[in-house]
Homo-oligomer: A and B are copies of this chain.
Amino acid sequence: MVSTIKNDRLLKALMRQPVDCTPVWLMRQAGRYLPEYRATRAQAGDFVTLCRTPELACEVTLQPLRRYDLDAAILFSDILTIPDAMGLGLSLDEGIGPRFERPVRDVAAIEALGIPDPELELGYVMEAVRLIRRELAGAVPLIGFCGSPWTLATYMVEGGGSREFRLAKKLMYDEPRAMHSLLDKLSRAATAYLNAQIAAGVDVVMVFDTWGGVLSTPDYHEFSLPYMRRIVEGLQREREGRRIPAILFTKGGGLWLESIAASGCDAVGIDWVCDLGSARERVGQRVALQGNLDPEMLYASPQRLRQGVADVLAAYGEGPGHVFNLGHGVTPQVDPEQVRLLVDAVHELSASCHRR
């Protein structure tokens, strides 16, 4: 196993240590906006096969790094691999979105769920991690990830994506013990899954709470955050003498940054709605921050995009602890040249934030 990382800006920034310029990676940096991704995706036939074929998952993980001066790779996979491994039967089609053949809607179905053994039922993910790590050869850190228990539960109960989360919320409101039992299983599954990714070679882990922001404040603190905290507490935080930083990201969680920052994580992802400067004031010295350009800014003119990058850097201000990212993922119609402009602008414009 490679034990040193040549470009360690991301790791340093996540530990709030000095860097020469702000590291940058993008949520969904490997994806449909890249023609080479679409070609590999076509080769795989469908999205689930792409995720399940380690060589192809490795290939698409590396594609954006061949084009851009990114400071990290992120494992190409999907948050729904865990429920799939629990036996729900995932299909994922463009236009329709994710679907489960066997949604989980009552106590009996929740009780029947097992905790997947990551090296067995999710072995294809670990194989992809090992392949990517070998291919990266220590050039940049590799980020592993999972979905938050609450976010996974919404898909499992709804049977797919949702706008109003009616079924998931009805279960939460009417049968809170059943929902807690589901979330408990998911947090145990996610902890084992991330620890297996760490053992296989990821250098950073991130938990995506895409749908925590649809909850009321008390419900977020009862049904989403505690289960992310439990994952963080159960992580192997060191490998080969190096700390494995953990990032938590709740989209729409701007009101709750203080409690997210107190969860034990090293860094908090910030969506584009929340001001990064205020976020920094609120979390103080506790955590690094990752974010937060509006993903729609990638459709603006090159000049405006560059100004948008400058504005995000200025909002964070001087000193360490910032990882540049979008406030949510890259969208499929983005011009790949705009991503290049963004990445280069972050490095160029941020140098002045890091002079000592």
Contact = CB atoms under 8 A, between A and B. Distances in A.
Interface string A204-216: 0000000001111
Which interface residue of A164, A216, A218, A297 has the most chain B CB atoms within 10 A? A216
A214 B213 CA distance: 13
A155 to B, nearest CB: 17
Contacts of A217: 273-275, 278
B299 A169 contact: yes
A173 to B, nearest CB: 4
A154 B299 CA distance: 16
Contact of A331 (B164, B174, B215, B311): B164
B273 A174 contact: no
Contacts of A294: 169, 216, 219
Interface in A86-129: none
A304 interface: yes
A166 interface: yes
Given A273-B255, A331-B164, A299 B214 contact: no
B300 A274 contact: no
A252 interface: yes
A164 B332 CA distance: 12
A165 interface: yes
Contact of A218 (B165, B169, B275): B275
A36 B217 CA distance: 35
A296 interface: yes
Interface in A275-304: 275, 278, 294-297, 299-301, 304
Nearest to A274: B255
A254 interface: yes
A308 B273 CA distance: 28
Contacts of A255: 254-255, 273-275, 278
A122 to B, nearest CB: 31
Interface residues of A, number: 34
Interface in A245-259: 252, 254-255
A255 to B, nearest CB: 5
A304 B174 contact: yes
25 contacts: A164-B295, A164-B331, A166-B296, A166-B299, A169-B294, A170-B296, A170-B299, A170-B300, A173-B297, A173-B301, A173-B304, A174-B300, A213-B273, A214-B273, A216-B272, A216-B275, A216-B294, A217-B273, A217-B274, A217-B275, A218-B275, A218-B311, A219-B294, A255-B274, A255-B278
Nearest to A271: B216
Interface string A171-215: 001100000000000000000000000000000000000000111
Contacts of A296: 164-166, 169-170, 173
Contact of A300 (B173, B311, B331): B173
A201 B27 CA distance: 51
Smallest CB-CB A-B distances: 6 pairs: A217-B275, A173-B300, A169-B296, A173-B304, A254-B255, A174-B301
Contacts of A166: 296, 299
Contact of A173 (B164, B254, B295, B308): B308
